[in-house]
Amino acid sequence: MRLSKEQITVVKSTLRFLSSALLAVSDNERILSKSLEDMAKHINEQDGEVKRMFTASSIMLTVNEHSMQLNRAIDECRREYEILIDAIMNSQKGVLQPQIITPAQIMKLMKASQADMPQEMSLPLL
C-alpha cells in the first residue's frame, strides 16, 4: 500500500490534531477532577457549618422551651401562693376559702359528724 505525500501529510496532521485533542481532554479531565474534589471539600465544610447552626438553633429552642415551662411553673406557684394568702386573710375574717375546702367536702364532713352531735342540735342544711 502506497500512500502519496499528500495523504501522509493529511494522516500526520490528523494524528497530531488527535494527539493534541487527547492531551486537551486529559488536561480538562484533570481540571474537572480537581474542581470536583474542591467542590466536595467546600460542600463538606458548609455541611459542617449547617450542622453547627442547626445544633445551635436546636439548643436555643430547647432553652426557650424550658424557659417557658419554668415561667408556667413560677406562675402556678404564684397563683397557689396568692390562694394561700387569701385563705389566711379570709380565715381571719371567719370565711372559708373554696380552694382550700370545697362546699361538698364541708357537707360530707358535717354529715359524718352529725351522729356525734346532741339531739337538740341539728344542722339546717342536712
Number of residues that make up the chain: 126
Q: Calculate mean pLDDT across residues 83-107.
A: 83
> What is the average pLDDT score of the chain?
85
* Number of helical H runs and strand E runs in the chain: 2, 0
Written in H, E and C, the secondary structure of 13-42 is: HHHHHHHHHHHHHHHHHHHHHHHHHHHHHH
Rg (CA), the chain: 46
118: left (phi over 0), alpha (psi -120 to 50) or beta: beta
Domain-wise residue ranges, the chain: 5-114
Q: Calculate mean pLDDT across residues 62-78.
A: 95
Q: At 125, is the pLDDT very low, low, confident or very high (cuts 50, 70, 90)? A: low
Share of the chain above pLDDT 90, in %: 33
The DSSP call for residue 101 is S
Q: At 77, is the pLDDT very low, low, confident or very high (cuts 50, 70, 90)? A: very high
pLDDT at residue number 114:
78
119 has a pLDDT exceeding 80 = no
In 3D space, the residue among 5, 116, 86, 109 whose CA is nearest the CA of residue 125 turns out to be 109
User: What global pTM score does this model have?
Assistant: 0.47
Pairwise pLDDT comparison (53 vs 68), residue with the higher score: 68
3 has a pLDDT exceeding 80 = no
| C-alpha cell belonging to residue 17 | 490534531
50 has a pLDDT exceeding 60 = yes
Q: At 92, is the pLDDT very low, low, confident or very high (cuts 50, 70, 90)? A: confident
pLDDT at residue number 2:
63
